[in-house]
Each structure stands twice: as C-alpha cells, then as structure tokens.
Amino acid sequence: MSKAKLHGQIPAPDAVLTVLGETPGARIVDHDCRKAAGSRGSYEYSLDYGLVLVRRGGYWRDVNGRGASLGPTDAFFERPFVEQRIEHHRDTGDRCTSLWLSENAVCALAGDASVPDEPITTTPSIDLQHRELVAALRRGIDRFEFDERLARLVGALAECAIPGRFTARRSTTRSNHDRVVQFAREAVVADPADVDFGELAQTLGHTRFHIS
C-alpha cells in the first residue's frame, strides 16, 4: 500500500454528511461537498464497497492511474483497497449520494462482488430511481420500501455497467420462470408482513433485483 489514507479518517471540514437511511449491510449518505475549485484530495482507499451517484456539480476522479471527469449523469463503484483521488474544479461545489455496502450486500444486490472501477454513465430511468430514493428516504419509508428501492437502483446500475449481467441469468424456460413467481407468491401470502425478499432471493438462487 502506498501513502494513501484510509477513507473516513481524513478530515472533511468542507463537507456536510447526512445519513439518509440504513439497512443491514448498507448505508446511504447525502454528501454535500463545498470545497473550492482547484482543491485536490489525497489518495485514499476504503475497507468496504461503495457506490457513488453524482447529483449536482462534478469533479475529476483518478483511480488506478486513469482519470475521468464526472457529473450528474455519472456513478461509480468503489472497491476495498482500490486507491482513488478526487479533484474539485467547480466553485459551486458538488453533491452526491454515497452508498456504503458490505461485501454480502454487493453480492446480493449486484450479482457478485466483481464491480468495475470505471465510471458508469447513468440512464434517465436510473437518474429518476436515484432521486426518488433520496426523496423517499427524506420523507420516511419502511424497511420493505427501502430494500425494494435500493435493490432496483443498484441492480440497474450493475446491469448498466455490464450489460447482460442479470438478463443473461434469467430463467431460460417458461416453467422455471413460473416456478420462481409461484414460490415468491406463496411466501408473500404465507407471511405478507415479514417476508424477507433478500432471503427469498437466496433461497431461489437469484438476486434481489430479479425477485423485485
């Protein structure tokens, strides 16, 4: 490891961090950064996985020796021990939605832990899901809606980053598809208040994205 610093142990006096919501294995934070244009952070790394979606402004991100300019139609995953550096080039700052994800959560939501370091160009549908999730968390939602919205957003981004990641794994026959649907329906009917779609997805050998 180089002289990179551990993310989370770096002072951030020019940023306002607000936890929007938490669920086992995931935390969603509103990151309002107010650093002046030209500010360059030190190289840093994390011990966990992350997913960042830019909502306003933008910055330059270096990772693995490659740089890219990011704005409100970009997102990127973060992997443990992968170094990155952010350089701010807008006087108006930037605002992002940052997700902390455990390895189990990444596997459950994104199919596996093989997520890309390169930025992902979002789609209008993903942008809408992202902003609806933020608005819903601020309004206040229950655990079921939180998990459902999170699964759809992360799953859509994973599929956008690697097309076919989920679609290639869908049931290849009508009978298999019907079996999954029937099993899910029976689970919901049996215990509509406490059914855990994450556990149900694991039982069926699918991701939460598929069950949703």
pLDDT per residue as tens digits for the range 94-128: 999 999 999 999 998 998 888 999 999 999 999 99
How far is residue 126's CA from residue 144's CA, in Å, rounded to a whole number? 20
Look over the chain and give the mean of its residue pLDDT values, rounded to a whole number. 83
Write out the chain's pLDDT in tens, 212 residues.
466 777 766 667 788 999 999 999 999 999 999 888 888 877 899 999 999 999 999 999 999 889 999 999 999 999 999 999 999 988 888 999 999 999 999 998 998 888 999 999 999 999 999 999 999 999 999 999 999 999 999 999 999 988 876 665 444 444 555 555 565 555 555 566 565 655 655 555 555 554 55
> pTM for the full model?
0.77
Tens of pLDDT, residues 46-65: 999 999 999 999 999 999 88
Q: Measure the CA–CA gap between 111 and 105, rounded to whole angstroms.
A: 9
